[in-house]
Structures are given as structure tokens and as C-alpha cells.
């Protein structure tokens, strides 16, 4: 008895249902991660002039690094440039919501913080912003993960996550690696 058209159609429909099921499981898992665990792709859109980055505004040298504002918000500002980060080490508290803000004056860079979900591109002309909560203390590696030129492999920084009681801002609200 030859295989009937009906059997072929039925098996193809079964596979279509399995495919839809797999995609649905993945979509539901991603929506669950976003709504319940607040794991979302960074979506900040903010323009900045890369030519005058260092001359004024929040990414001047004096403003870089970690600072705690009056309302307790912890923000770290980092400039990614060929082939280093400025500053090369930042201090952040564990178990507290922190904001990382990046800008670049030259080419496209990217960062990730090892062992965390922090991962973003840094594009000239835009401020990249990531909110996160670090749960593990210690020195975490933050390499550039977007090829940016011959020195790309040397481009990395350290994120020093300290217990909340060791996170002590100075009178201006600053916390730096060498000051600890």
C-alpha cells in the first residue's frame, strides 16, 4: 500500500505543531524573564556629540567613575576609547541597583561584565546605559567585545563589586578603586 497523501500531510502538520510549540516555549521564557526577573535588552536612546565629549557635560574627566547622587542613586560613567576604558577600574556595591553609562569619542566598542547579564554596544554619538544589580562580590572582568582596532585585545577594565558596608562614598559622593 503506497503512503497516502493524507499520512504525509498529517506528519507535516505534526512537525509544524512541534515547531510552533518550541518557538512558543522560547517566547514565553523570554517574556517571563523580562516581566518577572526584569532581564531586558538595554534600550536607552540618548544622543551625545562624540567630538565634544571630553570638553563639557557628564563625560568630562572629573565626572568619570562611580558617583552616588543625593537621592542614593549609584551611577558609573565610563568612556570607552581606543584602546582603554577611562577609568580602568570602577567600584560598585553588591545587591543594590546601579546604573552604568558609557560613551565613546572614536569607534564602535562593546562591553560585557563577566558572570553577569550586562552586555551592550557603545556607539559613537549615543550614550549606552545599563541598569543592573550585582549579586556576587569580587573583581569582574569587563572586556571590549567589539573589534575596535589593533589594540582591541588589550582593552579591558575591572568592575570591583564590594559588599554594601564596604561601599563608602567620599564627601562628593565618589568611590574610586585607588581610594579604597
Query: Which residues of this protein are in contact with another protein, per CB under 8 A?
Result: 1-3, 11, 15, 18, 22, 25-26, 29, 33, 37-43, 115-119, 130-135
Query: How many angstroms separate the first and last alpha carbons of the chain?
Result: 82
Pick 18 or 179: Cβ nearer another protein: 18
**How far is it, in rounded angstroms, from Cα 163 to Cα 135?**
9
Pick 40 or 73: Cβ nearer another protein: 40
Least distance (Å) between residue 73 CB and another protein: 15
Least distance (Å) between residue 161 CB and another protein: 12
Pick 54 or 131: Cβ nearer another protein: 131
Contacts of 166 (CB under 8 A, 6+ apart): 180
DSSP-based three-state secondary structure for 28: helix
Pick 96 or 174: Cβ nearer another protein: 96
Least distance (Å) between residue 65 CB and another protein: 21
Count of residues making up the chain: 180
Least distance (Å) between residue 104 CB and another protein: 20
Residue pair 65/77 in contact (Cβ under 8 Å)? The answer is yes
Pick 15 or 172: Cβ nearer another protein: 15
Contacts of 176 (CB under 8 A, 6+ apart): 65, 66, 87, 89, 91
Least distance (Å) between residue 131 CB and another protein: 5
Residue pair 75/101 in contact (Cβ under 8 Å)? The answer is yes
Amino acid at each position: 500500500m503506497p503512503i497516502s497523501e493524507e499520512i504525509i500531510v498529517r506528519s507535516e502538520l505534526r512537525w509544524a505543531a512541534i515547531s510552533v510549540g518550541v518557538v512558543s516555549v522560547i517566547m514565553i521564557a523570554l517574556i517571563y524573564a523580562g516581566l518577572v526577573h526584569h532581564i531586558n535588552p538595554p534600550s536607552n536612546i540618548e544622543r551625545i556629540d562624540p567630538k565634544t565629549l571630553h570638553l563639557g557635560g557628564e563625560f568630562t574627566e572629573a565626572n568619570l567613575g562611580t558617583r552616588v547622587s543625593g537621592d542614593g542613586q549609584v551611577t558609573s560613567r565610563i568612556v570607552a576609547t581606543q584602546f582603554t576604558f577611562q577609568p580602568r577600574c570602577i567600584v560598585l556595591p553588591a545587591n543594590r541597583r546601579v546604573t552604568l553609562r558609557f560613551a565613546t569619542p572614536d569607534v564602535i566598542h562593546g562591553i560585557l561584565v563577566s558572570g553577569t547579564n550586562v552586555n551592550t554596544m557603545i556607539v559613537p554619538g549615543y550614550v549606552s546605559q545599563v541598569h543592573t544589580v550585582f549579586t556576587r562580590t569580587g573583581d569582574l572582568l569587563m572586556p571590549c567585545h567589539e573589534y575596535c582596532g589593533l589594540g582591541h585585545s588589550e582593552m579591558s577594565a575591572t568592575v570591583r563589586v564590594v559588599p554594601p558596608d564596604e561601599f563608602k562614598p567620599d564627601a562628593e559622593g565618589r568611590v574610586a578603586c585607588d581610594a579604597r
